[in-house]
Chains A and B, each alone.
Chain A
């Protein structure tokens, strides 16, 4: 009777079979197929973050422009509101609007900015600027 060593078959084997190579190739291809869209999405998110910062800056700058003039001239300015050159250049399809209303607390202008990024036309950034009625200004701390 011939005795077979349990590991004798492994001793004969060396190198890599085509099947093993194929499996490794498939696994790495799958990993690449998963990660490449992530890289692309990441690049898009970086661009979108930069645009969002610009849009916030644009709103704040427009609010400062309003603060620099008396409240009775706000309607004239809001009707001729234009985004800045930088915003036009960097935010695709930028749209800046303003709506003014008089409340019991004072004049209020809501600035709204939207551009052609996913979801930004439906959910624009908004910033409200207030001019309190005389006598209602906050006392200095």
Chain B
């Protein structure tokens, strides 16, 4: 007798196998897209860190006056209102570094124009920043502990103070 059609078991087996294969393929695609997004974000953070270090050292080297405006009590918190450090530059005017929620901001008071120049260095959310003087060096430190979804991200920038610089403490 010639068999026509399929049994329920055959249909169920084929459907299960097909769903499994489809699930695996969809999972791979999802993971590839998520990996691409996280990689882009991570590389952006690394690049921001290097740019910030270069800019900060350049600002400190050119500064005629530096004022650190945070103290150790504020260091543990993310303070988005108080500037971390103020630098007086001979040409560019006052430069202020200020912690933000997802970035470290640099405001430059351009003497030639009305609007201050603003740069934002993208950082992980909730990064704790502190600035301090360490002998003839000034340190800008950012810490972000590892979470379930994010790797630890530390930034520690040292910059040599120019000779004869006036240094003022926290206010």
Name A residues whose Cβ lies closer than 8 Å to a Cβ of B: 14-16, 21, 24-25, 28, 31-32, 35, 39, 42, 46, 49-50, 53-54, 56-57, 60-61, 64-65, 67-69, 84, 86, 90
CB–CB B18/A16 < 8 A: yes
Q: Are B24 and A32 in contact (CB under 8 A)?
A: yes
Q: Are A65 and B137 in contact (CB under 8 A)?
A: yes
Taking a contact as CB atoms under 8 Å apart, the answer to whether B35 and A42 are in contact is: yes
Question: Is the Cβ of B39 less than 8 Å from the Cβ of A68?
Answer: no
Task: State which of A14, A32, A53, A65 has its C-beta within 8 Å of the C-beta of B50.
Answer: A53
Task: Contact check, B21 vs A24: say whether CB atoms are below 8 A apart.
Answer: yes
Q: Would B136 and A68 count as touching, CB distance under 8 A?
A: yes
- The interface on chain B, measured as residues whose beta carbon lies within 8 A of the other chain's beta carbons, has a size of 34
> Cβ of B157 < 8 Å from any Cβ of A?
yes
A14-B6, A16-B14, A68-B136 given. 9 additional CB < 8 A pairs? A15-B6, A35-B28, A39-B35, A56-B50, A57-B157, A60-B158, A61-B158, A68-B135, A86-B156
A28-B161 in contact given A15-B6, A53-B49 (Cβ < 8 Å) = no
A26 vs B33: C-alpha distance when bound (angstroms): 23
Which residues of chain B are within 8 angstroms of A16 by Cβ–Cβ distance?
Answer: 14, 18
Residues of B contacting A21 with CB < 8 Å?
A: 14, 17-18
Instruction: Give the 3 A-B residue pairs with the shortest CB-CB distance, closest first.
Output: A68-B136, A68-B160, A67-B160
Q: Does B168 contact A (CB under 8 A)?
A: no
Provide 20 A-B residue pairs closer than 8 Å at the C-beta atoms, listed in order of the A residue.
Answer: A14-B5, A15-B10, A15-B14, A25-B17, A25-B21, A28-B21, A31-B25, A32-B24, A35-B32, A39-B31, A42-B35, A50-B42, A50-B151, A57-B155, A57-B157, A65-B158, A67-B160, A68-B135, A68-B161, A86-B154
